[in-house]
């Protein structure tokens, strides 16, 4: 399916969903390049394989992770942080593909953040049952830059809350090719992903992939 939804004449009315000030869902915005993006994910994972990391408290995460870009996000008993090298081999993360950056910058601009300059891309791989608890993205140095999150593969339910963990959350169904962008007044809202339901996607099989672009430094 090849639709350049950014150039669709009715994009704003048919494909953009505003969640709250500073946060939008761009439906199907990554569809045009899905096969190329998935091929790049495979290539990156061949260089730095997906890992199941643990939180500082010792809890194993159900989502497998790898990174590309100048910096990668990691977690272990030493804490949450960005670093320029993989903890497993002490090598620099693979460079962020130009295609990845173009998708992220274009989505951010469409959402109202024309100066987005990502230097980190966290790649998450979900299998059935995997989830992401409510959390804030607050390990970055500049909260003036948005978060851009690309969904590929199996559908997932994205939780988008408020500035406190206890605030009521919206539940947003995300499908293959959807992009969520949040920044400005929404930059530090809590968010997460409910346990992934089992299924089969023609391009990703039993997995969901999520690319999260950030300006770490």
Asked if residue 70 belongs to a domain, the reply is yes
CATH of the domain at 68: 2.60.120.590
Asked if residue 160 belongs to a domain, the reply is yes
Put residue 120 in one of left, alpha, beta given phi > 0 → left and psi -120 to 50 → alpha. Answer: beta
Asked if residue 4 belongs to a domain, the reply is no
Q: How far is CA 78 from CA 54, 85, 106, 123, 136, in A?
A: 10, 15, 35, 21, 18
Asked if residue 87 belongs to a domain, the reply is yes
Per-residue pLDDT tens over the stretch 64-115: 999 999 999 999 999 999 999 999 999 999 999 999 999 999 999 999 999 9
Query: Domain of 23?
Result: 18-214
Beta bridge partners of 122: 67, 212
Per-residue pLDDT tens over the stretch 178-195: 999 999 999 999 999 999
Q: How far is CA 9 from CA 3, 4, 5, 108, 112, in A?
A: 12, 10, 8, 19, 18
Per-residue pLDDT tens over the stretch 143-179: 999 999 999 999 999 999 999 999 999 999 999 999 9
Asked if residue 3 belongs to a domain, the reply is no
Give the count of domains, the chain: 1
pTM (predicted TM-score):
0.93
Asked if residue 135 belongs to a domain, the reply is yes
- 152 within 8 A of 212, measured Cβ to Cβ: no
């Amino acid at each position: 399916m090849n639709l350049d939804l950014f150039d669709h004449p009715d994009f704003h009315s048919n494909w953009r969903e505003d969640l709250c000030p500073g946060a939008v869902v761009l439906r199907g915005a990554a569809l045009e390049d899905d096969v190329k993006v998935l091929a790049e994910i495979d290539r990156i994972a061949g260089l730095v394989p997906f890992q199941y990391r643990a939180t500082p408290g010792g809890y194993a995460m159900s989502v497998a992770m790898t990174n590309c870009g100048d910096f990668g996000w990691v977690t272990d008993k030493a804490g949450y942080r960005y670093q320029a090298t993989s903890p497993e081999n002490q090598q620099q993360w693979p460079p962020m593909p130009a295609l990845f950056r173009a998708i992220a910058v274009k989505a951010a601009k469409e959402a109202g953040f024309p100066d987005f300059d990502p230097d980190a891309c966290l790649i998450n791989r979900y299998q059935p049952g995997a989830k992401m608890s409510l959390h804030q993205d607050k390990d970055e140095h500049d909260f003036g830059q948005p978060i851009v999150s690309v969904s590929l593969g199996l559908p997932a339910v994205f939780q988008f809350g408020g500035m406190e963990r206890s605030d009521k959350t919206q539940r947003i169904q995300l499908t293959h090719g959807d992009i969520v962008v949040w920044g400005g007044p929404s930059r530090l809202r809590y968010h997460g992903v409910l346990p992934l339901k089992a299924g089969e996607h023609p391009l990703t099989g039993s997995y969901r992939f999520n690319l999260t672009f950030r300006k770490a430094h």
